[in-house]
Structure 1
Amino acid sequence: MRPAQTRSEAGLTWARLDDGAVLVGEVDDLDLRPLGILLPLDENWPIRLAAADSIRRALIDRTADPPLSRQRRDRLKRALRCVDAIASGASYRDVATAFFGTRRLQAEPWKTSSIKAQVVRLTAYGRKMVGGGYRELLRGRSR
């Protein structure tokens, strides 16, 4: 759905999106007219400012870095898969088998396995992310 637009006397167009965000500029023609972002001055100001700068770099400079490296994205995906599997009743061994295969698991005793430790760490990381730790990704501080 297209946001409702209001034109000010100064020639700026204000558009309020369904989620409450306000865009300032010419919404129809972003390449020809400047676009503004209004940010609330709250406790998340630094995060919002960094996100706005990322948007600017992506839209205008075309130099924005990906928010997460491929390695971090892959780790996050595996961690969330671990949480889903454990919540569905799978054991750590089941998860490890799905990730690494039966042959690799048989190479060392399960009780002291480095693979078991890795799955436990991934699950703990996934639980942290699900429990609100994903906000740390926005702050650029999550490992």
Structure 2
Amino acid sequence: MHILIGIDPDVDKSGVALKINDHIEVFNLSFFDLFVFLSEKSERVKTTKENILVVVEAGWLNKSNWHKNKNGSAAINAEIGKRTGSNHETGKKIVEMIEFLKLPYRTIKPRKSKVNSKFFKSITGINRSNQEQRDAYMLIHGIK
């Protein structure tokens, strides 16, 4: 059995995609719910010797993280920067969590294009998803 987990980090709830062989699930988890989820997968892998890989979107790997609204005020742009930095720190803490649990992982720079729900449904069969869940799945899509 092969287990793939994609994570799109977010301060409130991270997008998570789970693929076990051909079975796919997507959901959102808070930081500590994610820890419980990954802990359970870590224990499962230890007892069953299944293959697992966790892939985390790592926005902090981009050369430039300058996000600015051209028409926005200084306060709006400061808030954008604050949210971006918070999400990056959450992602780094998730990687630290994965290392603590001794799970194999990869970090991947974010993709520039987003996948819409119609295309996502066509490749997964999943009717309902949000952008974080779709981003999480796209991190593991195509990995064998």
Q: Same fold (TM over 0.5)?
A: no
- Structure with bigger helix share is 1
- Structure with bigger strand share is 2
TM-score by length of 2: 0.27
Structure with larger RCO (C-alpha < 8 A, sep 6+):
2
Larger radius of gyration: 1
TM-score by length of 1: 0.27
